Structure 1
């Protein structure tokens, strides 16, 4: 029987998923492709969020019976693996690394941010461990090549990649949440009044000083760039500190 749709990643057969992708797990070969199933699931998630992605909804999208989907996607966790790798195919580069690894890494992060904003479900999907498929591996290979001039060892390079991806995912999740809150200007005004009151109470001098500092450009792009610069410009590549 297929796994429950909420099954954990422990139930995913990664060798079957990535090394033998054309072999159905059981039964007759379906009349539709794994690509079509994955694309339908991505379309649903883009439009309605991950909660909308159920085997029943995806089956309806491709015009198939629910049970027939299990040949290639035996549970929702496997489907999520397919979805993440599917959209990772969009992470492409036209030029080779420049050799200026900090600048190149910042370009990678901006590419990731745009990618996650196109697919707002991605930060949540990436919050649990994913085993990279072919598209994700191609992107990882590029990032590792960007980091070659640092002289970091392989484990440290993988840690930098994980740190960068986690930063972008967390920032995008916050950015999406803030965009939703901005639709309620009364709430933003109430928050501003509250913080002004706190700053004036004499009990929070550090906060009062911080809030009195000159304002900065608060567009999402500018804010992301400032945070990203602090992260990457502060990366320590001294092997003695690792």
Structure 2
């Protein structure tokens, strides 16, 4: 896979455009149109420039996607204290990752398909790896722990974004949830566990995310305790 991060490119200097301004506009276009609506032509129109002029600053559309993705990921807050407890580091950084992805809902569509090798991405990954390394994890266990935690966040946010995009009317959402609970109550003989425990009406994404993340981190902590 080719990527802008693998090349050492000279940046042209122009009176009007800069790579930084182009990347800023790319993030704004992705926020507005998503990955499917992103094109060099639309980006050039947003900048009031010719499409071909953009290629003086980047070699391809994919370069802009990489640069925009890294710029967005750089917004993730992290714990600067190198001695902070690992659980504090992961909780704060992963919760911030969710908020950044909600602001930039195109991130989940790119994060699994582009190399996360920009300075913003690497800095955030370094802090999580360093925190778990200090805690005592190493090798495949450390990598698996990071994958489990980040995978939980990405999966939760992808589902949350899909739900939010489908249900913009709170009344319609509440009506659907009520119907789902009524259906389960009527089939408690077939699905007793769901009828007993599943509560479709509980739609607090913030509380659900926090509780789920704590369960994932409990698993990492149990692994550390056994070691």
Is the TM value for this pair above 0.5? yes
Identify the residue that residue 191 of structure 2 maps to in structure 1.
Answer: 204
Preserved contact between residue 38 and residue 82 of structure 1 (Cα < 8 Å) = yes
Q: Following TM superposition, by how much is the alpha carbon of 1:41 offset from its aligned partner in structure 2, in angstroms?
A: 0.4
5+ residue gaps, structure 2, are: none
Q: Deviations over 1:164-221 (max 9, x none)?
A: 2222122112222222344243354245324423432322222222247xx9964221
TM-score (norm 1): 0.79
Q: How does 1:77-226 map to 2 (within 5 A)?
A: 77-93=62-78, 95-184=80-169, 185-186=171-172, 188-201=174-187, 202-211=189-198, 218-226=203-211
Shift of 1:56: 0.6
SS of 1:234's equivalent?
Answer: helix
**Gap change, CA 1:114 and 1:195, over 3 Å in 2:** same
In the superposition, the TM-score normalised over structure 2's length comes to 0.83
- Distance in 2 (alpha carbons) for counterparts of 1:93 and 1:187: 34
* Gap change, CA 1:229 and 1:92, over 3 Å in 2: closer
Q: Tell me the distance in 1 between the aligned counterparts of 2:97 and 2:35.
A: 19
Does the aligned pair in 2 maintain the 1:89–1:135 contact within 8 Å? yes
User: Which position in structure 2 is the counterpart of 1:12?
Assistant: 3
Task: Determine the C-alpha separation between the residues in 2 that align with 1:237 and 1:119.
Answer: 33
1:102, distance to aligned residue in structure 2 (A): 1.8
The residue matched to 2:59 in structure 1 has which SS? coil
Query: 2:79–2:93: 8 Å Cα contact kept in structure 1?
Result: no
Q: Secondary structure at the match of 1:237?
A: helix
3-state DSSP class of the match of 1:183?
coil
Alignment length, in residue pairs?
222
- Give the Cα–Cα distance (whole angstroms) in 2 for the partners of residues 216 and 151 of structure 1: 41
Structure 1 stretch displaced more, 215-224 or 145-154:
215-224
* Aligned counterparts of 1:11 and 1:104: Cα–Cα separation in 2: 32
Q: Which runs of 5+ in 1 are unaligned?
A: 1-9
In 2, Cα distance between the equivalents of 1:105 and 1:221?
16
> The residue matched to 2:115 in structure 1 has which SS?
coil
Q: Match for residue 55 of structure 1?
A: 40
Match of 1:3 in 2: none
Q: 1:188 to 1:169 in 2, by over 3 A?
A: same
CA distance in 1, matches of 2:120, 2:195: 48
